Amino acid sequence: MPLPKKIYVSDLMGKLLPLLLFTSFLHAQNLRPGHSITSRSKQFVITSSVNVDARPTTGKSQPIPKQVLLTPSALATFAGSVRQQWLHQFGINQEWQGQLYLHIVSGGLGDKPDVRRVASPKGGWNYRAIIPQQINGRTLTQVIINLLLKEFSGRYSMKEPNIPPWLTAGSSELLLQTIGPVLFVPFHTRGGGGISFNHPPDPLYASRIVVEKLPAVSFLTLSLPPPDFIQGEKQAQYRAYSHLLVYKLLREQDGTKRMQYYLREIPKHKNTPSALGVVYGHKTMLQIEQWWSLAQTQFRSRDAFNRWRPRVILGHLSDSLLLQTLTTPSNTEPKPQQKLISIQEFIGKGIRTKHTEKLRPLLERLRFLQVNAPPETARLIQDYHSAIESYLEVKPIRLRVFRDNTINQLNLLDTILKDLISESETDHTRAKQATPPAQPD
C-alpha cells in the first residue's frame, strides 16, 4: 500500500491563510459581559465568562490535540467548520432552525461539558453547552457534533431526542480521521505551527487498525456501552467500532437520506434500536445484530483498497483449485459419487474436451481472485492462471509432454501456496494477540 501523503501547513496556505489571519487577529480578544460572537453560519452563538488573555499553545503540535485553550473567536470558527463537514457527510442541505449556544467558563482539562435543551423565546428549542476553557480536542468535537445531532433530531418533537452514544462518537471520528487537523487550525499559535497530517486514502485509516486487532463489539454494547467503553481503557475500541457503524450506515443504499430519516425517527421511539429498525428494514434486534455482525466480518476481510486480505484470498484460492468430479461406478459404489480432486489429478487422466470444460471456468475464477487480491498473492494467482492457460492452448501433438510439465509446475505452486497459508495464519494469530497503538483521547 502506498505511503500516505504528509501534508504541512505550507501545503494548505492557499486555503488556510485567510483563516489564520482572521483567528490570529481575534485570538486573544475577550468578550465583555453581555457580548457574544456569532459563527458565519449564524447557528452558533458564543459567549464567555473567562476574562484572561489566551496563552499560546505549548508543546509539540498533534493532529488531534489532547488539549485546546478556547477563545470565543477560535471556537466560533471551529464550530462552524465542524458543522460544515457534518452537513457534507450526512448529505444535509436544509437551513438550520434551532440556535446553538456555547458558553466558555473557567475550567481545566477533564471537566465535563454541560449540554442542555431550553425553550426558545421564538418557539421551538435551543441547545446550550457550557464548556471549560481547557478541553480535550476530541471531546470538543463530540460536544459540537452532539449538539448538531440533537438539534436536527428534535426539530419537530416536544421530546428531547436520545441520541445514541455510538452516533456521536462515530460521527466525530468520521470527521477527525478525514480532515481533523485542519479543523483545529484556529487553536494553533499566531504563527500557525506545523501540522503533521498523514492525509489518508482510507477514511477509516486509524479505526481500521483497532477493528482488525480487537474483538468484535455487539450493537447492544454500542447502544448501551459499559463505563470502561466510555471513560475507561476501551475508549479507542468503542470509537473505532462506532466509526465503522456510522460509515456502514451512510454507505447503505440511500444512506444519507436514511440517516436523516433515522434522526427524525429517534424521538418517536422508546429506544434508538427500534428507530434504526424502522429506517433500515430490521424487524427485530436479532436482525440488527446479524446485519452488524456480517458488516464487521466483511470489513475485516478487506483492506483499505477493498481487496481481500492475504489469508482470505488464499482460502478462496485453495478452494478454487479443487475440482468437483464424479467417481466411476464400482462394486462397492454402484452409483457415481461426487469427489474433489486436484488439478494435477484431473489433467493426469481423462480426455482433452473434459479438461477444457472444467478448466475454462476456473480461469475466469482465477482472474476474479487476482483483481481482488493484494500484491503479495496476486502474482501467485497469475502463475496458476498462466500454467493452466498454457496447457489448454498447447497443440495435441505436444500434449503428453506438456501435461507432465504442467503437473510439475502446479506441484511447485502448491508448495508455495502452503507456505503462504502457513505464514498468513501465523501473522493472523500474532495480530489477535497484539495491542493496537494508543490513540490520543
**Is the model's pLDDT at 423 over the cut of 90?**
no
Query: Please, which pLDDT band fits residue 190 given cuts at 50, 70 and 90?
Result: very low
**Is the model's pLDDT at 122 over the cut of 70?**
yes
**Structure-model confidence comparison of residues 55 and 242, the more confident one:** 242
Highest mean pLDDT among 155-169, 322-336, 391-405: 155-169
**Residue range 22-42: mean pLDDT, rounded:** 65
Q: 95-104, 225-234, 425-434: which has the minimum mean pLDDT?
A: 425-434
**Residue range 131-135: mean pLDDT, rounded:** 93
The three state secondary structure string of the chain is CCCCEEECHHHHHHHHHHHHHHHHHHCCCCCCCCCCEECCCCCEEEEECCCCCCCCCCCCCCCCCCCEECCHHHHHHHHHHHHHHHHHHHCCCCCCCCCEEEEEECCCCCCCCEEEEEECCCCCEEEEEEEECEECHHHHHHHHHHHHHHHHHCCCCCCCCCCCHHHHHHHHHHHHHHHHHHHCHHHCCCCCCCCCEEECCCCCHHHHHHHHHCCCCCHHHHHCCCHHHHCCCCHHHHHHHHHHHHHHHHCCCCHHHHHHHHHHHHHHCCCHHHHHHHHHCCCCHHHHHHHHHHHHHHHHCECCCCCECHHHHHHHHHHHCEEEEECCCCCCCCCCCEEEEEHHHHHCCCCHHHHHHHHHHHHHHHHHHHHCCCHHHHHHHHHHHHHHHHHHHCCHHHHHHHHHHHHHHHHHHHHHHHHHHHHHHHHHHHHHHCCCCCCCC
Q: Is 137 within 8 Å of 184 (Cβ atoms)?
A: yes
pLDDT given at position 22: 43
**Residue range 352-370: mean pLDDT, rounded:** 87
**Residue range 64-86: mean pLDDT, rounded:** 91
pLDDT given at position 440: 44
pLDDT given at position 23: 44
213-220 LR contacts (CB < 8 Å, sep 24+) = 213/431, 213/432, 213/434, 213/435, 213/436, 214/240, 214/436, 216/241, 216/293, 216/296, 217/241, 218/289, 218/292, 218/293, 219/245, 219/273, 219/285, 219/288, 219/289, 219/292, 220/285, 220/289
Mean pLDDT across the chain: 81
Q: Is 38 within 8 Å of 45 (Cβ atoms)?
A: yes
**Is the model's pLDDT at 58 over the cut of 50?**
no
pTM confidence score: 0.69
**Is the model's pLDDT at 213 over the cut of 80?**
yes
- Distance CA(54)–CA(348), nearest Å, equals 81
**Structure-model confidence comparison of residues 140 and 344, the more confident one:** 140
pLDDT given at position 55: 54
pLDDT given at position 351: 76
**Residue range 356-377: mean pLDDT, rounded:** 87
**Is the model's pLDDT at 432 over the cut of 80?**
no
pLDDT given at position 9: 38
- Distance CA(193)–CA(60), nearest Å, equals 9
pLDDT given at position 105: 92
Q: And the C-alpha cell for 37?
A: 460572537
- In the chain, pLDDT over 90 holds for what percent of residues? 37
User: What are the pLDDT digits (tens) for 277-318?
Assistant: 999 999 999 999 999 999 998 888 776 666 777 888 888 899
Q: 27-41, 175-189, 267-281, 299-313: which has the minimum mean pLDDT?
A: 27-41
**Residue range 200-227: mean pLDDT, rounded:** 88
**Is the model's pLDDT at 7 over the cut of 60?**
no
User: What are the pLDDT digits (tens) for 324-339?
Assistant: 887 665 556 666 677 8
**Is the model's pLDDT at 191 over the cut of 70?**
no
